[in-house]
Amino acid sequence: MIHKKEAVTSETSHEILMLGYLCIKGVESLPEKVSILDRFGLTDSDISTICNCVAQSVPNARQKLKKRSRNE
């Protein structure tokens, strides 16, 4: 009996990823997009997929948000 291996994919469903994409559709800046998507509890990898950016950009965007909030 041959067992097929399933492809390794993100644990986040396609519906959640699509919902995240729709929530940030009109938003221009990456830090604002990350701020919105953080409310869904998504991983950095999922957020980078939705925003079409590299994974390291997500923590960098969070840092920009922190710096902005300190300066205000």
pLDDT in tens, 4-29: 544 344 567 899 999 999 999 999 99
Tell me the percentage of the chain whose pLDDT exceeds 70: 85
Q: What share of the chain is helix, strand, coil (3-state, %, to 5)?
A: 60, 0, 40
Judge whether 50 and 20 are in contact, CB under 8 Å. Answer: yes
Residue 10's pLDDT is: 56
Taking residues 64-72, what's their average pLDDT?
Answer: 83
Rg of the chain in Å (alpha carbons) = 15
At a CB cut-off of 8 Å and minimum separation 6, what does 25 contact? none
Q: 32 is written with which tokens?
A: 């604002």
Report pLDDT for 6.
Answer: 46
The pTM assigned to this predicted structure is 0.77
Both tokens of 14, joined, read 């396609």
Q: How far is CA 51 from its chain centroid?
A: 6
pLDDT, averaged across the chain: 86
Q: What confidence score (pLDDT) does residue 11 get? A: 67
